[in-house]
C-alpha cells in the first residue's frame, strides 16, 4: 500500500468507495495499492534523457576563474550517468569523471557482471578524442545490443551500438566493465 499526499495546489480524480471517481480535496491522504516499478521507471528516465541539453554544463572555479568543466557537453558522459543514478538513489552524488563515477558505483553496492542486461552501467576503454585527449567513457546498456551515453559529437545523450559498431570484425570500442545494482532486480 502506498500513501499519496496531494499537494495544496493539486486535485485529482480517483476511484473511491465513498465518492467514485470524484475529485479529492487538497491535502487529502489517499491509500492506493500499487507496486512502484523501480526498474521500469529508471529505464524510462534513461530513455527520456535522449537529446536533453541538461547535462551539458557544470561550472567550477579554477584558479579564480569560472570554467565549464563539461565543455558544453563534450565531456558529459559521467555527469549524465551519475545524474540519473543519483536521482534514482543508486549512488551518493553526481560526478564529472568516469573514475569518480566508478568509485561511487563500487561504494554504493554496484557489482561487476559478465553479461549486461538493460539498466547496467557500462564502462568503455580509454580512447583518443577529437582534441587528442584520452578518456574512458561511461553509459547505460539498454538491451538488444544498444546503449545510451553522452555523445561528445552531438553533446547530448544518444543511443548507439553497445561497442560503437564493429571495425574489421572487432568492437570499435571495447567494454572494460559492466555494473549491476541489486535494487534493479534480477
pLDDT in tens, 21-70: 345 566 666 677 777 899 999 999 999 999 999 999 999 999 999 999 99
The pTM score is 0.82
Q: Are 90 and 83 in contact (CB under 8 A)?
A: no
CATH topology of domain 38-184: endopeptidase fold (from Nostoc punctiforme) (3.90.1720)
C-alpha cell, 87: 536521482
Terminal-to-terminal C-alpha distance of the chain? 23
pLDDT in tens, 146-175: 999 999 999 999 999 999 999 999 999 999
According to the model, what pLDDT value does residue 24 have?
58
The widest CA-to-CA distance across the chain, in whole angstroms, is 68
Hey, is 88 helix, strand or coil?
coil
According to the model, what pLDDT value does residue 15 have?
45
List the chain domain ranges.
2-32, 38-184
According to the model, what pLDDT value does residue 34 have?
75
Q: Count Cβ atoms within 10 A of the Cβ of residue 128 and give its class: 0-12 exposed, 13-18 middle, 19 or more buried.
A: exposed
According to the model, what pLDDT value does residue 27 have?
65
Amino acid at each position: 500500500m502506498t500513501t499519496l499526499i496531494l499537494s495544496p495546489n493539486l486535485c485529482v480524480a480517483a476511484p473511491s468507495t465513498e465518492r467514485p471517481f470524484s475529485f479529492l480535496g487538497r491535502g487529502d491522504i489517499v491509500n492506493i495499492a500499487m507496486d512502484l516499478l523501480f526498474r521500469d521507471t529508471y529505464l524510462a528516465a534513461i530513455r527520456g534523457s535522449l537529446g536533453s541539453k541538461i547535462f551539458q554544463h557544470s561550472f567550477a572555479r579554477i584558479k579564480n576563474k569560472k570554467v565549464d568543466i563539461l565543455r558544453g557537453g563534450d565531456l558529459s558522459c559521467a555527469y549524465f550517468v551519475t545524474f540519473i543514478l543519483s536521482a534514482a538513489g543508486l549512488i551518493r552524488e553526481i560526478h564529472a569523471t568516469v573514475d569518480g563515477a566508478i568509485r561511487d558505483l563500487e561504494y554504493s553496492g554496484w557489482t561487476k557482471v559478465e553479461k549486461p542486461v538493460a539498466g547496467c552501467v557500462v564502462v568503455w576503454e580509454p580512447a583518443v578524442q577529437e582534441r587528442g585527449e584520452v578518456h574512458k567513457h561511461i553509459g547505460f546498456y539498454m538491451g538488444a545490443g544498444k546503449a545510451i551515453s553522452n555523445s561528445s559529437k552531438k553533446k547530448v545523450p544518444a543511443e548507439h551500438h553497445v561497442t560503437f559498431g564493429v571495425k574489421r570484425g572487432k568492437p570499435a570500442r571495447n567494454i572494460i566493465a559492466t555494473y549491476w545494482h541489486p535494487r534493479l532486480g534480477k
